[in-house]
Amino acid sequence: MMNSAHEGLEEQHCHSHSGDEPRKSHHSEKLKQNLSSRLNRIEGQIRGVKAMIEKDTYCDDVLTQIAAAQSALGSVAKLLLEGHLKSCVVERIQAGEEEVIQELLVTVNKLMK
């Protein structure tokens, strides 16, 4: 089990791309394991919600489980956003790629919907 949800973030690095190569982020193994574990739990929550609907579970109970899954997914997004800001965004600004700010604003707007 992880001691901290943020453990391993400092080891994340982004690599610039050239040509048609997609931009990649290289997360530490600890962070990847943390995120993977969280996503596995979320996947289980979603399967549980589906089963609740199939069993005609009371709507309020289903909605509560949906809210829990949304919150868990939001936590994953926050971890990724934190790492992105501390590494990728900083590196790209230092490299003179100020367009990363507009890219970040678009992403944050998507997350806040």
Question: Is 94 inside any structural domain?
Answer: yes
**Tens-digit pLDDT profile for residues 73-82:** 999 999 999 9
Question: Is 10 inside any structural domain?
Answer: no
Q: What is the pLDDT of residue 4?
A: 47
**Tens-digit pLDDT profile for residues 47-58:** 999 999 999 999
Which of 43 and 27 is assigned the larger pLDDT? Answer: 43
What's 92's domain CATH number? 1.20.58.1000
Instruction: Please state the domain count of the chain.
Output: 1
Question: Is 42 inside any structural domain?
Answer: yes
Least confidently predicted of 19-28, 29-38, 54-63, 91-100: 19-28
Q: What is the pLDDT of residue 28?
A: 83
Which of 107 and 6 is assigned the larger pLDDT? Answer: 107
Whole-model pTM: value is 0.79
Question: Is 8 inside any structural domain?
Answer: no
Look up the domain containing 31 and give its range. Answer: 25-111
> In which band, very low, low, confident or very high, does the pLDDT at 12 lie, cut at 50, 70 and 90?
low
Question: Is 45 inside any structural domain?
Answer: yes
- Straight-line distance from the first to the last Cα atom of the chain, in angstroms, rounded to the nearest whole number: 31
Handedness of CA 87, 33, 24, 107 (dihedral sign): negative
Question: Is 76 inside any structural domain?
Answer: yes
Please determine, for residue 23, whether its predicted confidence score (pLDDT) is greater than 90: no
At 112, the amino acid letter reads: M
Handedness of CA 72, 75, 81, 84 (dihedral sign): negative
Question: Is 78 inside any structural domain?
Answer: yes
> In which band, very low, low, confident or very high, does the pLDDT at 109 lie, cut at 50, 70 and 90?
very high
Long-range CB pairs of 104-107, under 8 A, 24+ apart, other chains included: 107/81
Q: CB count, 10 Å around CB of 75?
A: 14
Q: Would you mind telling me the total number of residues written for the chain in this entry?
A: 113
Question: Is 14 inside any structural domain?
Answer: no
